Structure 1
Amino acid sequence: MTIPEHQLAAWSSQPEAGPSRDTYQSVKEVLEDRGSPFAGKTSDVFLQGSYGNDTNVARDSDVDVVSLTSAAFYHNAATLPADQYSAFVRTYGGAAAYTYQHYKTDVTTWLVKSYGSGVVPGKKAIFVPQGMNRRDCDVLPAMEYRHYSRFGTISDHSYASGICFFMPDGTQIVNYPKQHSENCTKKHQQTNKWFKHTVRCYKNIRNYMIDKRLLQEGVAPSYFIEGMLYNAPNSLFGETFQDTIVETFNYVADADRHQFKCSNGIHSLIGNSPVTWRAGDCQLYLDAMRKLWQGWS
């Protein structure tokens, strides 16, 4: 027996947006306050993750907010041909005085002042606890990242614009949340608005499997589930949720997933870097989902 249509439809639904919207507005206003120690340095504040992409489910409690500064930027220019890198160095000079750690410290200090001692900096983001009309929130201080494909002059170059941050051990994490969000929205439109409903369905199936101890927590992060489905052909979405789940699952299960891209269209989905899904974890998720589907009663 398979999971019935009514259950899949229920799992595809999106919770009411009010609390997350209010959380984002509160935090955004604090981060954009002209009295902050980084006033004038923050170039953009935006949602990322499940709430930013409208793929959130009931268990997604934290709202993820990026606080981006373009006061300085990191880059891959050193990987360009020598003449292009030389031109880059002549244009931009050496390292910037305002570093990522400066920015994270400034943002942390300001959030503590604004929300109290419950604010706690973590390895990646800064945790802001829930309050009046506000959910728990993770604020990610980030700096602009430029992935150059070519550099001639300050007016003649090409790069993909992303964000980066650093782990406590110095590991740099680079991602492209704007491209991710834009691509997911296009995918949703191209699938006659089935894509985001299907992502929520897959995520709720994961949560159900965790509750039933069929899958360990952390094996299938929402970001990777979204990326996995981004690679499924548009023609496999639609008609019914049962058809959509079967068609997309079978495609993913049979495909060479090492060829998949994340939803940002830049990173590989499967790999061993900090921004990729381990092949073994992806397989564990698929195996557990197949077992649940076939054994549903």
Structure 2
Amino acid sequence: MAIDSGTLESWAQYDSGPIDSAKRTHNRIQNELQSSNTLADANFDTYLQGSYANYTIVRASSDVDIVVQLKDVYYVDLSGLTPDERDRWRRNSGDPDYSWQAFRTDVVDVLESRFGSSAVDPVGKAIEVDTSKLPLNADVLVCADHRDYYNYPNGYHSGIAFFDLTNTKIVNYPKQHISKGSTKQSSTNDRFKETVRIFKRARNYLVDNNALNKENVPSYFIENLLYNVPDGRYTYDKQDRVEKILRYLNTTDYSNWTCQNGITDMFGSGPAEWNTRYADQYVDAMVTLWDNW
């Protein structure tokens, strides 16, 4: 058997309402930060990331992921440079006057002053803002510029960096993720993002029926997994498409795949990487669901 076409059509649906609410939430937080005297001298950008930004949201109750990126300072990875290039970078670099830690503290202060301290939880990777004053609750990720150098001075990948509670630096590339997702959408005749929604809603079905642990299968990695599937598998008929994609995932070694951003490894032991065991569990559960529907 196979998942019926009506269910697949329902799982593929896109609802513009949550996207509009996410944009209004972002605009409100952006305005509050930009109008604050506390951050008047800080140079920063704000933008959406995650499922709302990528138009792959499947549950409107999900918090909005908002990036607040400090531009006054940048962190680096110099491992791709020669010893001479690393020495040149050190000679030309100074200590910034404003750190990521100080910037994050200031952002927390502004959010607490505008929404109330009880509405803001600053403990964790992102600052959680839970208030009826916003259309949706928000996870505000405070970060700084990051440069992954492969040639000095102008050869580097631009990303973001922030630190967790153990002071471990976490690096990601959200703008590249969004850009490459848009390219994939075009190259699959606008079928990529609806397919991500199908696979995410199928994940939620499996979680609701105790076949998966949701914590082990984040939406971000479902999108990365499907991004690496060849465009030719994204056929017009949704049943044929899902079957072809599952067959590909079930017979392919994806352990060396990169994320949708095209830069970072998808699997590994790092804080921004996935466990292949969890990916295998997800693919196996999806195949079982398809066969036993």
Q: Say whether the 8 Å CA contact 2:75–2:146 is kept in structure 1.
A: yes
Matched residue SS, 2:166: coil
Find out whether 1:83 has 2:84 as its counterpart: yes
Return the letter of the residue paired with 2:32. V
Q: Aligned match of 1:254 in 239, 243, 251?
A: 251
| CA offsets 1:138-181 (integer angstroms, 9 cap, x no match) | 000000000011114xxxx2111000100011111000000000
Partner residue, 1:9: 9
Q: Say whether the 8 Å CA contact 2:115–2:133 is kept in structure 1.
A: no
Partner residue, 1:92: 93
Q: Say whether the 8 Å CA contact 1:31–1:45 is kept in structure 2.
A: no
Partner residue, 1:48: 49
Find out whether 1:103 has 2:100 as its counterpart: no
TM-score by length of 1: 0.94
How far apart are the structure 2 equivalents of 1:183 and 1:79?
23
Find out whether 1:186 has 2:183 as its counterpart: yes
Q: Say whether the 8 Å CA contact 1:219–1:284 is kept in structure 2.
A: no
Partner residue, 1:203: 200
How far apart are the structure 1 equivalents of 2:34 and 2:70?
11
Q: Say whether the 8 Å CA contact 2:267–2:275 is kept in structure 1.
A: yes
Partner residue, 2:125: 124
How far apart are the structure 2 equivalents of 1:133 and 1:38?
21
Matches within 5 A, 1:48-67: 48-58=49-59, 61-67=62-68
How far apart are the structure 2 equivalents of 1:50 and 1:283?
22
How far apart are the structure 1 equivalents of 2:201 and 2:32?
33
Q: Residues 253 and 119 from structure 1, CA distance in 2 versus in 1: closer, same or farther, beyond 3 angstroms?
A: same
Q: Which runs of 5+ in 2 are unaligned?
A: none
Shift of 1:259: 2.3
Q: Which runs of 5+ in 1 are unaligned?
A: none
Matched residue SS, 1:87: helix
Matched residue SS, 1:257: coil
Q: Residues 278 and 142 from structure 1, CA distance in 2 versus in 1: closer, same or farther, beyond 3 angstroms?
A: same
Q: Residues 248 and 91 from structure 1, CA distance in 2 versus in 1: closer, same or farther, beyond 3 angstroms?
A: same
Q: Aligned match of 1:18 in 20, 31, 35?
A: 20
Partner residue, 2:291: 294
Shift of 1:84: 0.6
Q: Residues 57 and 268 from structure 1, CA distance in 2 versus in 1: closer, same or farther, beyond 3 angstroms?
A: same
Q: Say whether the 8 Å CA contact 1:31–1:67 is kept in structure 2.
A: no
| CA offsets 1:242-291 (integer angstroms, 9 cap, x no match) | 11111112112211112211000001112111111101110111111111
How far apart are the structure 1 equivalents of 2:227 and 2:74?
29
Matched residue SS, 1:201: helix
Partner residue, 2:278: 281
How far apart are the structure 2 equivalents of 1:53 and 1:228?
15
Partner residue, 2:139: 138
TM-score by length of 2: 0.95
Partner residue, 1:218: 215
How far apart are the structure 2 equivalents of 1:125 and 1:36?
22
Superposition CA RMSD, Å = 1.4
Please, which moves more after superposition, 283-292 or 165-174?
283-292
Partner residue, 1:68: 69
**Corresponding residue pairs, total:** 290
